[in-house]
Amino acid sequence: LPRQRIPLLRPATCGGAGRHAALRGGDRSLQRSRTERLVRPIGCILSTVTLETTMQAVPVPRGRRVTVVKSVSATLLLLAAALGVWWDTSDGLLSGYGSSASGPTQVGHTTYVGLFIGATSHRPTIDVSRLHLRVATNTAQADISVRRCVSRPPGGGIGAVEDGWAQYCTSMDRFTSGAVDLDQRRAQLVLAVTPRRAGVVDVQGADLSYRHQLRFGRQHVGQRVTLTAPG
């Protein structure tokens, strides 16, 4: 067929009026039959391809974009929450275990030794939920406890003293949990050891569970205290 008689890109090639417009001269019945076999399939296929290409170019629906934005936002919130929990529970508020003190003691007498639990950057008041002493050795069968000393002005706290705590503290109460002021000028946690027989007492600090405002944690704190009661 002559090229000009088959307008393949004309939309009308899929139906009636277009087929008659494509024919010029000759035997119309023969040319119409041959033209229909060529024009209708090719024209319709081209129209179908054009439609599919146009559909692929349609932007992502608004609902899908909203879903993607929500997923990203949820991921960022979870990441922020994880970082917050890590900061809230990480060790670092209190100065850790490390220093040591040692010396003699006497059977039947109580020796008071400061645990020296401090903060790393400031002196907050913390809420202690649990305090567990790490008693490594107690061959002296000593009574061992933690006391809270309310410092006597001008303050300074107890280093180590036998029986005579009153010159350093206005009160000396047994402590297991509660609020603790970490400023030694006002208060101090103290280890109290009373040997019942000759022997050695070795206390390697304490595990302290605490909360401060929104921050909470558990740390190994204090100092190692070794006391020897001679026989």
Enumerate the β-bridge partners of residue 119.
94
What CA–CA distance (Å, rounded) separates 218 from 130? 9
Closest CA to 99 of 226, 207, 202, 222: 222
Residue 10's SS3 state is: coil
Q: Who's near 143: CB < 8 A, 6+ residues apart? A: 192, 193, 194, 196
Q: Do the Cβ atoms of 116 and 136 come closer than 8 Å?
A: no
Q: Give yes or no for residue 159 having a pLDDT over 50.
A: yes
Query: What pLDDT is stored for residue 231 in this prediction?
Result: 83
**Residue 118 or residue 197, greater confidence:** 197
Q: Which of 21-25, 57-61, 178-182 has the lowest mean pLDDT?
A: 21-25
Of 28-32, 134-138, 185-189, which has the strongest mean pLDDT? 134-138
What CA–CA distance (Å, rounded) separates 149 from 165? 9
pLDDT confidence tier of residue 117, bands split at 50, 70 and 90 = confident
pLDDT confidence tier of residue 226, bands split at 50, 70 and 90 = very high
Percent of the residues in the chain that have a pLDDT greater than 70, as a whole number: 63
Whole-prediction pTM:
0.60
**Residue 124 or residue 50, greater confidence:** 124
The mean pLDDT value of the chain amounts to 75
Phi, psi of 118 (to 5 degrees): -130, 170
Q: Do the Cβ atoms of 167 and 153 come closer than 8 Å?
A: no
Number of residues assigned to the chain: 231
pLDDT confidence tier of residue 136, bands split at 50, 70 and 90 = very high
Query: What pLDDT is stored for residue 64 in this prediction?
Result: 63
